[in-house]
Amino acid sequence: MYQKKHIGCYGLIIGENKIVLIKKSKGAYTGKLDLPGGTIEHGETPEETVKREIMEEVGCAVSKMELFDATSCNIIWYCEKKKEEENLHHIGIIYKIEICSDNLKTGEDGYDSLGSAWYEIKDLKENQVSPLTWIQLQKLGYK
């Protein structure tokens, strides 16, 4: 089994008991709802990463951000590209984010997001969201 480590930065955008999530189009979380965010590019700080990713996936600038958590989880999934199971160690640096607009990008980002939307937190189920998302909802006391 192939082992992979992924380190990314993600944004918690919450307001009025709703959260902004993206729907994943590929990778280990295909079809699931996930926090907007992604891989730290070479030379980027975590703060620069989350600002860039929020703009790419949500279509909004970040007006305020605060470091909230760093966490990880392991998942095993079948990687079509490699034609084998992958043991993914997913490490996330999580920021509480406020955005400049409520007009979210609803279309694809051309990479791994099918678009973003506001979701009622009370309606979300564990099997609908990525493990990192569920962990954060628990830490915030929603689940």
pLDDT tens readout for residues 10-45: 999 999 999 999 999 999 999 999 999 999 999 999
Query: What are 89's two structure tokens?
Result: 């160690």
Query: What are 104's two structure tokens?
Result: 């979210």
Q: Cα–chain-centroid distance for residue 65?
A: 15
Q: What is the pTM of this model?
A: 0.94
Which stretches of 25-112 are assigned E, i.e. beta strand? 33-34, 37-39, 62-79, 84-99
pLDDT tens readout for residues 124-136: 999 999 999 999 9
